[in-house]
Structure 1
Amino acid sequence: MTRPTPSALTPWARRLVLLTVPFVSACALLLAGAGSAAADPNGPKGPGGAGGQGNTVQIDLGGMTDKPSNSLVAILALTLISLLPAIMLTCTSFTKVLVVLGLTRNALGLQQIPNNQVLAGLALFLSLFIMSPVIGEMNDLALQPYLDGQLSASQAWDAGLQPLRGFMLDNAGDDELALLTNVADRELPANREDVPTTTLIPAFVLSELKDAFIIGFIIFIPFLVIDIVVSGALMSLGMMMMPPVMVSLPFKLLLFVMVDGWALIIKSVVASYGAG
């Protein structure tokens, strides 16, 4: 049997050396560290003294505060926007104003003038005008302290709900509150402030609809008188084939313009909330 030549062993020897040298070096370092630890029973000394005593670790979080993150604020804003139509319809004066304006249009005998978009836009901005003190109070008590990190989310919710509850309590009738409390099979609270929000909101909506229909009834009376007079005049003249609406509509419009009807209605609606 012939012995391998040195040229054939050179690649394998080179690989063995490359793999062995790091392993041997690591073992030597471990043994040296173990020997130093055995020599000193207190263990290795750190920069602050024996055994690492007196060392302090400080972590800089880049000026982290309790303010909510931008992503959380964006999520809350999107949630509020999605709930905004329901809040406008049930917790503000929007429903009452819109119903009053719609009844006024019907009392004049006009079907689509002004159209629904115009009435809804006018009702929206009138509602913002009426609700502006409440919105400002909610902003000062809840939104700004929450954005500044002074209040948590639950605390901001409770603080922001109080002005809105106060507005609804001021405009909700006692009969409606008692009705909804009895329907919910609950005991009537001693104070109005103790009414749950789930009972207060539908009671407020019912009160708003009741007040809107009362205002609409008052608006209908003068126009009804005009219709009766015109119908009687046409009957006396023998013009029974002519629709009374065609004759009474110009007189209704003339009366509405002469008394500045839109201004009177808006003043009445705003004054019903104790504003204006």
Structure 2
Amino acid sequence: MKKKWMLIVPLLLFLLLTMVPYAHAEALPDISINVGGSDGESSGTGTVTILLLITVLSIAPAILVLMTSFTRIVIVLGFVKTSMGTSTVPPSQVLVGLAMFLTFFIMAPTFNQINEVALQPYIQGDITQEQALEEAAKPMKEFMFKHTREKDLLLFLEYTQSEKPATYDDIPITTLIPAYAISELKTAFQMGFMIFIPFLVIDMIVASTLMAMGMMMLPPIMISLPFKILLFILVDGWYLIVRSLLLSFSP
């Protein structure tokens, strides 16, 4: 008998829970959502606009990484973390956040110029969308052109069999972006190599000392890590790294 009640009680609870929504169904109002207008042409235009907006938002991280100073900064900070041998300190979120805010700081003059010549006139209706995009591309081209090596730029111009442009305004942005990206990668690796040298010297000294003392089973990283952290603190490493990054983007 107890087994039958144990089966019936859960069944009754299940029926009550399933009947509650239907009991209040008549009290709920009908809600309808219409997207777009009644005109077919305006609806199609709105759909295209939404699709373009979603596309821009999806490629926004790539724009931030490849068209700003973010690439160089985050790679250099990554080299600092790797050269010190601290795999989890500082966390990757902290380094990415620092790189992002340094990017906003470095790119502030360029972003202000875009706001003045493109965004605000477009919001006020003085220029069209196409004109706004053209005006917004000019400050970005100027910034990327200053930090792009001529060798890297000629690589993509020769591939497309384009003539050598007279000014940076004549360079297609699809050509300038990859040239700027590989230039930033080279610069970042050069700075990372200079960061590695002092920490590598400490590792070699510690490893040689341990070998001379016969402590071959003791990992050198356990001894060298405190010395590397101490050196980084004594020379005020974060100040030097950030200062070097800011100077590398100085006009």
Take 1:198 and 1:140, find their aligned partners in 2: how far apart are those partners? 24
Q: Deviations over 1:93-135 (max 9, x none)?
A: 1111000000110000111211221111111111000100000
Take 1:83 and 1:91, find their aligned partners in 2: how far apart are those partners? 12
Instruction: Identify which of structures 1 and 2 has the higher relative contact order when contacts are C-alpha pairs closer than 8 Å and 6+ apart.
Output: 2
Instruction: Check whether the contact 2:142–2:168 (CA below 8 A) recurs between aligned residues.
Output: no
Match of 1:226 among 178, 202, 219: 202
Take 2:48 and 2:129, find their aligned partners in 1: how far apart are those partners? 11
Q: Displacement of 1:188 after TM fit?
A: 3.2
Instruction: Check whether the contact 1:169–1:193 (CA below 8 A) recurs between aligned residues.
Output: no
Aligned residues: 206
Which residue of the partner structure matches residue 156 of structure 2?
Answer: 180
In the alignment, structure 1 residue 197 sits paired with structure 2 residue 173: yes
In the alignment, structure 1 residue 134 sits paired with structure 2 residue 110: yes
Q: Deviations over 1:188-208 (max 9, x none)?
A: 334444222111000000010
Which residue of the partner structure matches residue 244 of structure 1?
Answer: 220
Which residue of the partner structure matches residue 262 of structure 1?
Answer: 238
Q: Deviations over 1:252-272 (max 9, x none)?
A: 000001111011101101110
Structure 2 unaligned runs (5+)? 1-45
Instruction: Check whether the contact 1:109–1:249 (CA below 8 A) recurs between aligned residues.
Output: yes
134 and 73 in structure 1: CA distance in 2 versus 1, 3 angstrom threshold: farther
248 and 137 in structure 1: CA distance in 2 versus 1, 3 angstrom threshold: same
Take 1:162 and 1:235, find their aligned partners in 2: how far apart are those partners? 59
Take 2:157 and 2:194, find their aligned partners in 1: how far apart are those partners? 30
Q: CA RMSD in A?
A: 2.0
Take 1:180 and 1:72, find their aligned partners in 2: how far apart are those partners? 32
140 and 71 in structure 1: CA distance in 2 versus 1, 3 angstrom threshold: farther
Q: TM-score, normalised by structure 1?
A: 0.70
256 and 116 in structure 1: CA distance in 2 versus 1, 3 angstrom threshold: same
137 and 71 in structure 1: CA distance in 2 versus 1, 3 angstrom threshold: farther
Structure of higher CA gyration radius: 1
Which residue of the partner structure matches residue 63 of structure 2?
Answer: 87
Which residue of the partner structure matches residue 41 of structure 2?
Answer: none
Q: Displacement of 1:184 after TM fit?
A: 2.8
Q: Deviations over 1:147-204 (max 9, x none)?
A: 0010011111111110000000001011110122223333333444422211100000
73 and 271 in structure 1: CA distance in 2 versus 1, 3 angstrom threshold: farther
Take 2:103 and 2:47, find their aligned partners in 1: how far apart are those partners? 30
198 and 73 in structure 1: CA distance in 2 versus 1, 3 angstrom threshold: closer
Q: Displacement of 1:77 after TM fit?
A: 5.9
Match of 2:81 among 73, 85, 105: 105
Take 1:139 and 1:72, find their aligned partners in 2: how far apart are those partners? 25
Take 2:110 and 2:141, find their aligned partners in 1: how far apart are those partners? 10
Structure 1 unaligned runs (5+)? 1-69
In the alignment, structure 1 residue 151 sits paired with structure 2 residue 151: no
Q: Displacement of 1:71 after TM fit?
A: 10
Take 1:80 and 1:144, find their aligned partners in 2: how far apart are those partners? 19
Take 1:114 and 1:266, find their aligned partners in 2: how far apart are those partners? 15
Take 1:85 and 1:166, find their aligned partners in 2: how far apart are those partners? 20
In the alignment, structure 1 residue 274 sits paired with structure 2 residue 250: yes
Match of 2:98 among 108, 112, 122: 122
Which residue of the partner structure matches residue 53 of structure 1?
Answer: none
Instruction: Check whether the contact 2:138–2:169 (CA below 8 A) recurs between aligned residues.
Output: no
